[in-house]
Amino acid sequence: MKVITRKEVDVVTDVCCDICDESTSKHGRHSPQFGMLQAQWGYGSSHDGEAFELHLCESCFFQALTNLQEQRRGELMFSEQGFEPDPDFGRVQGHSQELI
């Protein structure tokens, strides 16, 4: 037997970018589209017990990605392996949306 009760639940209707504060859903016109920078530091790290979570709009996400690539270039440019720009830096392979 199903027992049915009406419940009020909180749902996420929008996610605002933590950098520029813009809506990532065009103010509810579509589902929120955002990237995340997330960390949970544990034993052995100097930030043990700390957690971080940032939500980034599409524009700020790709700016952050560009900044990280630039940091990588700085880290590797004088190393033995050197630096080669990677146009797919951070991209998850096989996760592209198929166009129908």
Contact positions toward Zn ion, by CB under 5 A?
17, 19-20, 57, 60
The backbone torsions φ and ψ at residue 54, rounded to the nearest 5 degrees and listed phi first, read -120, 140
Q: How far is the CB of 15 from Zn ion (least distance, A)?
A: 10
What minimum distance in Å lies between the beta carbon of 4 and Zn ion? Answer: 41
Between 25 and 60, name the residue whose CB sits nearer to Zn ion.
Answer: 60
CB of 62 vs Zn ion, minimal distance in Å: 10
Interior CA angle at 10 toward 7 and 16, to 5°? 165
